[in-house]
Amino acid sequence: MDDSRLVRGFSPSDCNTSGTQVPAHFFAQWEETMRNLGLRITLAALFVLAVPTIMSLGVRAQNDDEGGRAHQFGAELRGRHEVPLTLSGAHGSLALTVNQGDSSIHFVLTYEGLQAHILFSHIHVGQPNVNGGVTVFFCDNTTPPHTSRTCPEKAGTVEGDFTAADVIGLTSQRLAANDLAALLEAIRARQTYANLHTMDSPGGEIRGPILPGRE
């Protein structure tokens, strides 16, 4: 029997039907081929199982990027975001965390560099480059105040929570009082901004759009 034929591959005539012995190296090659084939099948099966998970993570990330049901938001407050803009050197940041039931929002407002007396800071409903109405106060130094939280002068941090009871209605913008769900819808649609007002800039000294994610 020609051993060279065995090196080229296996055929039925190579079976031990005539008493001819098949070389051992053939079986080694055959086992290696089967192992490689099994590995390919296993990898293919794992890929098929992983596809739904990968797609789910992608959709979730897209939803967060687009506002979706995001629960983390932030804003960068600068004078250039005001309408009209200010050349104030002050700056601030806002972090919002919505609870899982969408029934309350925790906020942390930090700012520095302000020189004039601070009046108040709050959330407005309005898209970029537009001035909108006030709906929730972070802090207030006026009399009578709209909230018990006062604004530190020049620099500081204000932290707290607000619920539906703190939402001020805006009749002209069709936002009902105490309608936290509608406010959250506007926040997730990128239609709100944070503003900080001072005595020198009563219309607002630093402002920033509230966007999904942390600033």
Q: What is the pLDDT of residues 122-135, one digit of tens each?
A: 999 999 999 999 99
Strand partners, 197: 120
Q: Are residues 55 and 125 in the same domain?
A: no
Residue 114 main-chain phi, psi, to 5 deg: -80, 140
- Distance, in Å, from the CA atom of 165 to the CA atom of 18, rounded to the nearest integer, reads 94
CB atoms inside a 10 Å sphere around CB 198 = 25
Q: Are residues 10 and 112 in the same domain?
A: no
Q: Is a pLDDT exceeding 80 seen at residue 194?
A: yes
User: Who has greater pLDDT, 33 or 212?
Assistant: 212
pLDDT-wise least confident of 18-27, 50-59, 119-128: 50-59
Q: Is a pLDDT exceeding 70 seen at residue 204?
A: yes
Domain limits at 144? 72-212
- Distance, in Å, from the CA atom of 67 to the CA atom of 61, rounded to the nearest integer, reads 10
- Distance, in Å, from the CA atom of 52 to the CA atom of 181, rounded to the nearest integer, reads 31
pLDDT, the chain, mean: 83
Q: Is 122 helix (H, G, I), strand (E, B) or coil?
A: strand
Q: Is a pLDDT exceeding 70 seen at residue 16?
A: no
Last residue of a domain, one of 32, 65, 98: 65
- Distance, in Å, from the CA atom of 15 to the CA atom of 143, rounded to the nearest integer, reads 101
| pLDDT given at position 64 | 47
In this prediction the pTM is 0.69
Reported as a single tens digit per residue, the pLDDT across 56-110 is 555 444 444 444 578 999 999 999 999 999 999 999 999 999 999 999 999 999 9
What mean pLDDT is predicted for residues 170-180? 97
Residue 81 main-chain phi, psi, to 5 deg: -85, -10
- Distance, in Å, from the CA atom of 66 to the CA atom of 70, rounded to the nearest integer, reads 8
Residue 172 main-chain phi, psi, to 5 deg: -70, -20
CA atoms within 13 A on the CB side of 79: 13
Q: Are residues 38 and 124 in the same domain?
A: no
Last residue of a domain, one of 65, 86, 116: 65
| pLDDT given at position 186 | 98
Last residue of a domain, one of 65, 88, 117: 65
Q: Are residues 76 and 144 in the same domain?
A: yes
CB 175 within 8 A of CB 189: no
What CATH number is attached to the domain comprising 142? 2.60.40
Q: Are residues 205 and 107 in the same domain?
A: yes
Q: Is a pLDDT exceeding 60 seen at residue 18?
A: no
pLDDT-wise least confident of 3-7, 47-51, 175-179, 203-207: 3-7
Q: Is a pLDDT exceeding 70 seen at residue 26?
A: no
| pLDDT given at position 44 | 61
Q: Are residues 61 and 76 in the same domain?
A: no
